[in-house]
Chains A and B, each alone.
Chain A
């Protein structure tokens, strides 16, 4: 369990880290690390591996919105059934149950604002349990998943120093 946690925390900081590197850091055989990763993937502890991309740099336009959703809870299942239903839409990137004035925070990605508007009016608002929605469009991303956009990454140190 401790070893699994160590593997996970290394991958969380760099999903591209090779099995060889992980094995060296944790002083284990590569086969052992491969087994652990297979197990964690099968058990869905590791759900997947994503790259964090600054699409703006390529001039690729896209729109992201965060939608506050108020729901009517259902007997026995509470918010779960509706939340799962919303999660299945491919344009939905994140769904969180929130404390506070609304129930779900839904992050949606589309190519244009029209895409988002269509999703909200046709798909989201029409679900029976959805009472209301408030849509916030993302204007600029500064930091995502621990990465700061626009941060100069170059090494400013002297190349050789005592």
Chain B
């Protein structure tokens, strides 16, 4: 077999393989492992949403939609955003339905970046922002956020990372992997910096419904921020619809129409059956969503208390469905901790450094798992820590 790797482009070669992938291979070889390593709800999509999809298929909705997505869905999205974050978007040209938020982020980066432009990426964060920036010929710049700040993005840290090439800031709150949120008071000081340095914000708000204290606030709702913010959201987390791959971006029409241009040549349109299901989710999905969020909140309290009892230091996460405890007490690196925990106690959690270098010393634990599984996992982690705590 000939070696074809020399044909791979420099830019793709420059991206390191995902740290999660390596760990995934390890976990699937471990029998009977309890996994707190997933990044999705443990619910199946509510039945009425699935059923609406069957109905649309029965009716023969199997064709392309307009590039931007079904107008009916864009109208529901615009109405939802007005309710949720208090910002108005025109369904005609300010909403774009995409293949999950992942595509929306990719489109935005491709549309906004000139080669060498810098993308400010607060870390720890979801794994795709920095590679997305690189693939769009931009340069990702890690902006550290810290445990003691509950992983809020601090204005002085942000400002210290800004250069004349800075163009885009990514905000992803409620945050994966930390569970951190940004309140209105936290966002306010960022607004002036963003305007002063003429940045565009990509605000990934996919976990916004999973906010446990207070209301989710979007940076787009601050005066003068609507046009320089691309709000991205979707159905995966709030409605347990990860596999449907339906997301969207809302923003100024010039930005959205540029994104739509790339979208039409690469994707054409999001699948119609997913779009039909998404309409049903926005129209009638609230009751089940509220129940699911209440259940996540119950489990959040159990895991947090459990970690503190076994001696893992952890700030109280106010969003998403992750806890991000410090494992420094074990004296192990994140990767060693996770590998040994898996081999010795059959519990899978994700090393914090998979989400950025300053995630080192932490682990991501997803509490979208059953209560008995969470309780067993905590017990096993307690056993593990008793053996691995340096005297």
Q: Which residues of A contact B (CB under 8 A)?
A: 10, 14, 17, 21, 24-25, 27, 155, 157-162
Contacts and interface: CB of A to CB of B under 8 A. Distances in A.
A146 to B, nearest CB: 12
24 contacts: A14-B371, A17-B371, A21-B302, A24-B302, A24-B305, A25-B298, A25-B301, A157-B35, A157-B42, A158-B24, A158-B38, A159-B24, A159-B27, A159-B33, A159-B35, A159-B37, A159-B38, A160-B20, A160-B27, A160-B35, A160-B38, A161-B39, A162-B18, A162-B176
Contacts of B383: none
Interface of B: 18, 20, 23-24, 27-28, 33, 35, 37-40, 42, 126-128, 176, 298, 301-302, 305, 348, 350, 354, 371, 375
Question: Which of B27, B38, B126 lies at the interface centre, i.e. has the most chain A CB atoms within 10 A of its CB?
Answer: B38
Given A14-B371, A21-B371, A21-B375, A160 B24 contact: yes
A161 B38 contact: yes
**3 closest residue pairs by CB, A with B:** A160-B37, A160-B24, A161-B39
A157 B371 contact: no
A24 to B, nearest CB: 5
A154 to B, nearest CB: 12
Contacts of A21: 302, 371, 375
A158 to B, nearest CB: 7
Question: Which of A17, A25, A160 lies at the interface centre, i.e. has the most chain B CB atoms within 10 A of its CB?
Answer: A160
Contact of B350 (A14, A27, A160): A160
A34 to B, nearest CB: 18
Contacts of A157: 35, 38, 40, 42
A27 B23 CA distance: 35
Contacts of A158: 24, 38
Given A25-B298, A157-B42, 17 more contacts: A21-B302, A21-B371, A21-B375, A24-B305, A27-B301, A157-B35, A159-B27, A159-B28, A159-B35, A159-B38, A160-B24, A160-B35, A160-B348, A160-B350, A161-B20, A161-B24, A161-B39
B33 A162 contact: no
Contacts of B298: 10, 25
Contacts of B354: 162
A70 to B, nearest CB: 36
Contacts of A160: 20, 23-24, 27, 35, 37-38, 348, 350
Nearest to A153: B370
A108 B72 CA distance: 50
A161 B350 CA distance: 9
B371 A161 contact: no
Contacts of A14: 371
B290 to A, nearest CB: 13
Contacts of B371: 14, 17, 21
Given A27-B301, A157-B42, A162 B20 contact: yes
A46 B38 CA distance: 37
B376 to A, nearest CB: 12
A145 to B, nearest CB: 17
B301 A24 contact: yes
Contacts of B350: 160
A134 to B, nearest CB: 32
A54 B348 CA distance: 32
Question: Which of A14, A24, A27 lies at the interface centre, i.e. has the most chain B CB atoms within 10 A of its CB?
Answer: A24
A51 to B, nearest CB: 15
A158 B25 CA distance: 11
Question: Which of B23, B39, B298, B354 lies at the interface centre, i.e. has the most chain A CB atoms within 10 A of its CB?
Answer: B298
Contacts of B27: 159-160
Given A14-B371, A21-B371, A21-B375, A162 B39 contact: yes
A161 B348 CA distance: 11
A108 B73 CA distance: 50
B40 A161 contact: yes
A13 B315 CA distance: 29
B24 to A, nearest CB: 4
Contacts of B127: 162
A21 B371 CA distance: 9
Contacts of A25: 298, 301-302
Nearest to B299: A25
A64 B338 CA distance: 51
Contacts of A155: 35, 42
Contacts of A27: 301
Contacts of A161: 20, 24, 37-40
Question: Which of A14, A27, A158 lies at the interface centre, i.e. has the most chain B CB atoms within 10 A of its CB?
Answer: A158
Nearest to A151: B44
A2 B24 CA distance: 43
B334 to A, nearest CB: 14
Question: Which of A21, A27, A155, A162 lies at the interface centre, i.e. has the most chain B CB atoms within 10 A of its CB?
Answer: A162
Contacts of B42: 155, 157
Nearest to A23: B305
